[in-house]
Amino acid sequence: MSAEIVIYVVSDSAGDTGEIVVRAAVAQFHPVYADIRRAPFVQDEGTIEKVLDKAKAEKAVILYTLVIPGLRDYMARRAAEEGVAAIDVLGPLIGSLESQTGIKARQEPGLNHVLDADYFRKVDAVEFAVKYDDAKDTTGVMKADIVLVGVSRTSKTPLSMYLAHKKFKVANVPLVPELRLPPELFKLPKHRIVGLTIGTHYLNIIRKERLKALGLPDNAPYATTERIERELAYADDVMQRLGCVVIDVSNRAVEETASLIMECVRGNGLSRGE
């Protein structure tokens, strides 16, 4: 049975680092679901107090990446006083680096977000993933570094966004028997396409949970075994025609699947933005 934990990511910058750490850790506890709530650009003790109040009421965990020493010390002290589990990600490392190098930390939030060429490539890739998600605009198929294909609920969108943060431009195409495939798909080199498949049992559970989340009965045709088997058979046929690599996402975290995709892509000599 799945469980849920609320985790507040508190940062005096955007909070990207903290969220990445949380997701990497939670992936080790599948099927635990983490409700990650960011508190970014924290600049005062009052904001910390508000987060502590919420976390205490919800029995949540706080993970913080505060580089300003005063805020970091305040969070540690007040969390201990309130009995809230709070994890300091950067403090111990910054202290060790200061000790080893003899150099005082700059104590400036957001230095890892310097607006360099790398940053803008990431922004472009994220915008690309949003624009060409779910084949809303099929022209993206020919422009993408990677095209993901698969039936509904095989993590195409989360994977597109994750890979975008690795600076890959990703488009994804849903495989639905009733929908016409974009002809552009068959013009692509097969090494630019990755097929996503999943076990019938896993997909049945995921789709039922999705229907429940939408307030719909879980016995709708979308989640029936018969419908799922039909879709997967259709998807398998399409992937064979495309000649693409196929990855089974059953019981795999997004990060693990993304790592496999990047291995495949790099193994074929494709780098970001080619």
Residues tagged in the binding site annotation? 150-157
Binding-site sequence positions for ADP: 150-157
Torsion of the alpha carbons at 85, 23, 125 and 187, rounded to the nearest 10: -170
Pairing between β-strand 33-39 and β-strand 146-150 as defined by DSSP bridges = unpaired
Euclidean distance between CA atoms 10 and 206, whole angstroms: 30
User: Exposed, middle or buried: residue 23 (CB in 10 Å: 0-12, 13-18, 19+)?
Assistant: middle
User: CA 40, 45, 50: angle at the middle one, nearest 5?
Assistant: 65
Residues 6+ apart with CB under 8 A from 216: none
195 forms beta bridges with 149, 246
Edge-to-edge strand list for the sheet holding 61-65: 33-39, 4-11, 61-65, 86-88
What size, in residues, is the chain? Answer: 274
